Amino acid sequence: MNQIELLAWSLTELAAHLRTGQISSREATRAVLDALDGPGRDLGAVARLDPERALAAADEADRSRLRGKELGPLHGVPLAHKDMFYRAGQLAELGAAMMRGHRPDVTATVLARLDAAGAIDVGRLNMVEFALGITGHNDHTGHPRNPWDRRRITGGSTSGGAAAVAARLIPGTLGSDTGGSIRYPAACCGLVGLKPTYGRVSRFGCMPLSHSLDHVGPLVRTSEDAALLLQVIAGYDPEDPTTGRRPVPTYLAGLRRGVTGLRLAVPEGGLDDALDAEVVVAVERSLASLADSGMRICRVAVPAFGPLNALRRLIMLVECAALHRERVETARGRYNPQTLSRMEPGFPVSGVDYARALGARAPMLRRFCAEVFADADILALPTCAVGTPGIADADTGGDARFTAIANRLGTLVGPFNFLGLPALSVPAGLDSAGMPLGLQLVARPFGEAILLRVARALEDAGGALGPPPTARD
């Protein structure tokens, strides 16, 4: 099997080829390890690999299949994940120099569920230090490079994961999203990124950034891949009391139901920043495709995003500052400047303001759903108001400009962390520079299935981008 052909398969395709015996798990795992160890390191995507452990697991997966024992829907599929998902006794360095040698004593629930589904864990991918940053910059580990243009950011904080999936080095990965850290990299790199409803997926054993806002979800190439990964990781976890007991739908089964008659709302107002002209064109093109597929498009007034973003930032900064206060006091010089510039405003915030921000969440969610989803099933808007900036353009050394840039890039994704609503970014074509743009789809709580249906309709209408130029050679 040609390695390039193997790596070009989507997650779902790879799982199917493994299931039929067209390739072995050892072949797939060896191909992924070689790709990550070569082009992956060149892109700055890799934190560390564990080839011995991964190949041993792959061999066991192959032996199990020969014995007629199927381990699950990801039997023998090699995956790598952001360096913040804990596996007991294994390194988890969180993109931070001060965490080198850190070995947690617990395993993340999402990794345990992937294990139970038969997946092979091959290693960890680079990330923004402590996941605090939307651009992908990291002075300690190096800035991952966007496979569509190595001079541009991948988005963050799931930066290495976005680069690796887009470059066809791995078929999929898990990321975290506290203010857009799955969806924004998906938009920058031409991928599908899903932030599930708050409480749909366990965060146990995942590095916390802001416990009121953190979400875990898939970053993949297709809606079908997202449905497959979400099916595996979603559901109640007694180790995470924020997870709900609502049954998990069969997401894959609903993908092909089509979108005829579904109602899609487009904001008339509430977007705080003017959109780049090319972003507007891309969104309108995607909306036209969905209308041709049978969706009913309407314009709705949405609550202003400014207050939602302000409340999200306040909560995130306070919760992050509380987690890092002791480290900042004793090891301030070991942080990236960009990390400190985002974290330090949280220290002087009063407890009263923090409590008021938390208390505003439920009523603002009720109001948003009542106003937006009264006559609509889905809300559609850009993932980002602007195109993907260059690495150098967004690297200000952590001064006030960096915070302004980060806030601008996250202004359309952050509100849905505060509200806890499910939100998905799907490719919306390329801009004149050849860089991907993203369309963001948002639904009511636990509406992931309908988001995936709409994303699939866009793909069926020709919205999938294919690999970046660097992955076609």
Q: What is the mean pLDDT of residues 152-176?
A: 98
pLDDT of residue 337: 87
Say if residue 157 is preceded by a cis peptide, omega within 30 of 0.
Answer: yes
Confidence of residue 45 (pLDDT cuts 50, 70, 90): very high
On the question of pLDDT at 1 being above 70, the answer is no
Residue 272 has pLDDT above 60, yes or no: no
**Does pLDDT of 471 surpass 80?**
no
CA-CA distances (angstroms) from residue 81 to 94, 109, 185, 350? 11, 13, 14, 36
pLDDT at 360: 98
How much is the average pLDDT of 133-150? 95
H or E element, residue 427: strand 423-430
Sketch out the chain's domains with CATH numbers.
Answer: 79-471 (3.90.1300.10)
Position 195 scores a pLDDT of: 98
- Nearest CA to 215 among 187, 230, 195? 195
What's the pLDDT score for residue 473? 53
Asked if pLDDT for residue 388 goes beyond 60, the answer is yes
Under the banding of pLDDT at 50, 70 and 90, the label for residue 256 is confident
Average pLDDT for the chain: 95
Catalytic residue selected from 25, 157, 223, 286: 157
Of 10, 24, 82, 341, catalytic: 82
Q: For the segment 188-209, what is each residue's pLDDT rounded down to a tens digit?
A: 999 999 999 999 999 999 999 9
Question: Can you read off the two tokens belonging to residue 447?
Answer: 């509406």
Active site residue 195: no
**In which order are the strands placed within the sheet that holds 296-301?**
172-177, 215-220, 192-195, 423-430, 436-442, 378-382, 263-269, 296-301
Share of the chain above pLDDT 70, in %: 98
pLDDT at 401: 82
Place of tokens 């991918």: 125
- Quote the pLDDT of residue 79: 98
Instruction: Mean pLDDT check: name the lowest of 234-238, 243-247, 382-386, 466-470.
Output: 466-470
Count of C-beta atoms within a 10 Å radius of residue 348: 10
Strand runs labelled E in 17-89: 46-49, 78-82
Tens-place pLDDT, residues 71-101: 999 999 999 999 999 999 999 999 999 999 9
pLDDT band at 273 (very low <50, low <70, confident <90, very high): low
Whether the pLDDT of residue 472 is over 70: the answer is: no
pTM for this predicted structure: 0.97
Per-residue 3-state assignment (H helix, E strand, C coil) for 455-470:
HHHHHHHHHCCCCCHH
**Closest-CA residue to 317 (of 242, 398, 212, 177):** 212
Residues in CB range of 352: below 8 A, 6 or more apart: none
Return the ∠ at Cα 361 (arms to 356 and 367), rounded to 5°: 125
What is the pLDDT, as a whole number, of residue 469?
A: 84
**Residue 185 near residue 142 (C-beta atoms within 8 A):** no
* pLDDT on residue 311: 98
CA dist 96 and 100 (Å) reads 7
Query: Which pLDDT tens digit goes with each residue over 290-349?
Result: 999 999 999 999 999 999 999 999 999 999 999 999 999 999 999 998 899 889 999 999
Residue 212 falls in the annotated catalytic set: no
Q: What is the DSSP string of 190-240?
A: T-EEEEPPTTSB--TTB--S-TTT-EEEEEESSHHHHHHHHHHHBS--TT-
- The answer to whether 167 touches 470, Cβ cutoff 8 Å, is yes
Spot the catalytic one: 10, 25, 159, 181.
181
The pLDDT of 143-154, averaged and rounded, is 98
Active site residue 157: yes
- Residue 144 pLDDT > 80: yes
